[in-house]
């Protein structure tokens, strides 16, 4: 009797479950899913297949495409130069002239980025500066001799050329559209290991590290946490589409090894410098003619500003583009050609895209009111002239200058210097300098090229305080001006 009751209870439970399932599917309208244990598909009750292979969802990043596009367009740069040994009386006594008179070979290493199929390569100026011999090693292990087309110390960019065609190259991206937090890849040759890919995010933009020399240096670095080390300089920073957005240049580290912060020159600057070097052989530097400082909360309060924004004009140089547009000290520049700027680095980056003679708009704040004025940009000499291909050096104060070669430096026993190769009307002629004069320092700063001279003399004739060098017959001179 007990067994019958148990069996009856079981039948009632099964019947109840069936009735409940029928009511649920009839009235709640949710069909039961029957899953077949297959490694590739799951089949629903209505017979439609559901693929179970994994696919990247929204927001998930695959770096392989960008890496494949980049590794064959990044080269290993090798340099050789001869350097004079420092004075060492003991070594000179021991080895005699064999020590003191024999320069030693110095080798350098870095990276470069192929930007055209016919062999143009971008690298850092500091990678190839003073090099007498430059070779590049391609990713397929070919080694080629490279020629320097031009270089620009104020942006730390140099352009090389190899005589070969059909090279894989990187296409320009848009660094201005990069967002903080966006993924990027750094590709270079750290420690001469060979092409190496690292990944990180954009940590910040518009960083000024104060590592380049000269008043007119342009620093507006992209900061990332992609790992860089010695040898990465001149390599590529690319976005996830494999487009070039920067040239890797520096790290910030207490030890000299990677410590979580790396920096790249944005292509908004690189592309303009490259175009100038290809077309003219020298960068056409446009300037506004102002001294700019970053805004602070204290300065904003003094100017009755509700927000800390823009770049503060601390000085306007006479005869410059800003002076002609009636900008004044304590004006706050908010936009360059409609692009907002909030630091001096951002302002420099925007102006660096233009050439002397270009007309742009500047929006500034004065006494709580915004004004927008047209400005015709000038060069350091105060005019809109450009240096065309074939001209020697850059005209400064009526003189055309060219840097001394490494061989000439050794011959003259100089560490640095520029020579006046052509002299016209201007300050240099007025103070008695002649063609052939070698200038070594201006305002206490060593000069190696026309860019250094432009940077050292700052705002024009009034800013020239000291100049030193050697006359054509080898006599040292030192001139001082003003108080």
Q: What is the DSSP letter of 168?
A: -
Catalytic residue among 156, 276, 331, 452: 156
Q: Check if the beta carbon of residue 192 is closer than 8 Å to that of residue 76.
A: yes
- Which sign does the torsion angle of CA 385, 387, 390, 394 carry? positive
Using CB atoms within 10 A of its CB, is residue 278 exposed (0-12), middle (13-18) or buried (19+)? middle
**Share of residues in the chain with pLDDT > 90 (%):** 46
**Any idea which of 238-242, 341-345, 385-389 has the lowest mean pLDDT?**
385-389
pLDDT at site 41: 39
Known catalytic residue at 156: yes
Q: Give me the chain's average pLDDT, please.
A: 82
Phi, psi of 367 (to 5 degrees): 55, 40
pLDDT at site 389: 47
pLDDT at site 160: 97
Structure confidence at residue 43 as a pLDDT band (50, 70, 90): very low
Give the integer Cα–Cα distance in Å for 142 and 145: 10
pLDDT at site 117: 96
Give the integer Cα–Cα distance in Å for 271 and 96: 50
pLDDT at site 257: 76
Known catalytic residue at 455: no
Structure confidence at residue 355 as a pLDDT band (50, 70, 90): very high
Catalytic residue among 111, 126, 175, 452: 126
CA angle (228, 229, 232) in 5-degree steps: 75
pLDDT at site 237: 97
Beta bridge partners of 121: 114, 160
CA dihedral 246, 118, 353, 422 (to 10 degrees): 120
42 pLDDT higher than 80? no
212 pLDDT higher than 70? yes
Which tens digits make up the pLDDT trace of 160-178? 999 999 999 999 999 999 9
Catalytic residue among 175, 220, 233, 249: 233
Give the integer Cα–Cα distance in Å for 206 and 266: 9
Q: What is the DSSP letter of 25?
A: I
Q: Which residue has the higher pLDDT, 80 or 48?
A: 80
pLDDT at site 260: 85
Nearest to 355 by CA among 457, 410, 282, 407: 282
CA angle (455, 272, 214) in 5-degree steps: 15
Which tens digits make up the pLDDT trace of 373-389? 999 998 876 788 875 54
């Amino acid at each position: 009797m007990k067994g019958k009751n148990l069996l009856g209870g079981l039948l009632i439970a099964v019947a109840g479950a069936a009735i409940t399932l029928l009511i649920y599917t009839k009235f709640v309208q949710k069909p039961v899913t029957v899953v077949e244990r297959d490694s590739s598909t799951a089949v629903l009750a209505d017979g439609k297949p559901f693929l179970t292979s994994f696919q990247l969802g929204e927001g998930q990043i695959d770096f392989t495409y960008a890496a494949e596009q980049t590794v064959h367009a990044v080269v290993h740069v090798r340099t050789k130069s001869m350097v004079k040994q420092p004075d060492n009386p003991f070594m000179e006594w021991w080895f005699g002239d064999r020590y003191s008179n024999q320069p030693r070979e110095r080798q350098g290493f870095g990276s470069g980025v192929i930007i055209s199929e016919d062999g143009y390569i971008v690298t850092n100026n500091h990678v190839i500066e003073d090099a007498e011999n430059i070779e590049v090693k391609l990713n397929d292990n070919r080694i080629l001799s490279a020629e320097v087309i031009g270089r620009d110390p104020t942006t730390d960019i140099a352009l090389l050329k190899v005589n070969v065609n059909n090279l894989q190259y990187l296409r320009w991206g848009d660094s201005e559209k990069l967002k903080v937090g966006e993924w990027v890849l750094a590709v270079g040759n750290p420690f001469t290991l060979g092409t190496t890919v690292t990944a990180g995010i954009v940590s910040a933009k518009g960083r000024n590290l104060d590592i380049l020399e000269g008043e007119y240096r342009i620093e507006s670095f992209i900061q990332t946490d992609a790992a860089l080390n010695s040898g990465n300089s001149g390599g590529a920073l690319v976005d996830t589409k494999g487009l070039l957005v920067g040239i890797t240049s520096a790290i910030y580290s207490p030890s000299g090894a990677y410590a979580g912060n790396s920096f790249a020159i944005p292509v908004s600057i690189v592309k303009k410098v490259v175009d100038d070097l290809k077309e003219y052989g020298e960068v056409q530097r446009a300037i506004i003619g102002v001294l700019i400082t970053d805004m602070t909360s204290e300065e904003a309060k003094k100017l009755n500003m509700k927000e800390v924004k823009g770049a503060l004009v601390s000085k306007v140089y006479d005869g410059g583009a800003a002076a002609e547009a009636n900008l004044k000290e304590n004006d706050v520049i908010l936009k360059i050609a409609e692009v907002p700027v909030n630091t001096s680095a951002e302002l420099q980056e925007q102006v660096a895209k233009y050439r002397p003679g270009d007309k742009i708009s500047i929006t500034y704040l004065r006494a709580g009111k915004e004004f927008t004025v047209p400005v015709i940009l000038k060069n350091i000499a105060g005019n809109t002239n450009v240096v065309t291909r074939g001209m020697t050096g850059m005209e400064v104060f009526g003189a055309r200058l060219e840097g001394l070669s490494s061989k000439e430096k050794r011959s003259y026993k100089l560490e640095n210097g520029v020579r006046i190769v052509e002299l016209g009307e201007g300050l240099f002629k007025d103070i008695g300098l002649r063609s052939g004069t070698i200038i070594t320092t201006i305002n206490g700063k060593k000069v190696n090229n026309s860019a250094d001279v432009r940077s050292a003399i700052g705002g024009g004739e009034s800013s020239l305080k000291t100049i030193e060098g050697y006359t054509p017959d080898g006599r040292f001179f030192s001139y001082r001006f003003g108080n």
